[in-house]
């Protein structure tokens, strides 16, 4: 089964949207907010999954589960 997990990170071309197991970037956005919004659409259309948002330093600063994804927490929030 294909992974619906995506990463958002800063590159010289803007904020990259890349599937976890993909070899190439899916799209670029001018801002991190635009990239996150587009990634939510992509992952939602795929049936849910995880989004990892990386800061400018490359470290993961936030993770979000889109509905029907694999949320490790059993409570909402």
* pTM score over 0.85: no
Rounded mean pLDDT of 30-58?
A: 94
Domain encompassing residue 12? 6-66
Is 48 part of a structural domain of the chain? Answer: yes
Nearest to 63 by CA among 47, 49, 75, 74: 49
Task: Identify the band that residue 1 occupies on the pLDDT scale cut at 50, 70 and 90.
Answer: very low
Domain count along the chain: 1
Is 73 part of a structural domain of the chain? Answer: no
Is 62 part of a structural domain of the chain? Answer: yes
Would you say 24 and 10 are in contact if contact means Cβ atoms under 8 Å apart?
Answer: no
Q: What mean pLDDT is reported for the chain?
A: 89
Residue with tokens 């949207």: 17
């Amino acid at each position: 089964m294909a992974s619906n997990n995506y990463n958002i990170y800063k590159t010289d071309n803007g904020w990259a949207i890349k599937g976890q197991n993909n070899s190439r970037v899916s799209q670029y956005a001018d801002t991190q907010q635009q990239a996150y919004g587009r990634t939510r659409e992509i992952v939602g259309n795929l049936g849910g999954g995880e989004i990892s948002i990386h800061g400018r330093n490359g470290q993961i600063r936030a993770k979000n589960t889109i509905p029907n994804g694999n949320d490790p927490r059993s409570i909402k929030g």
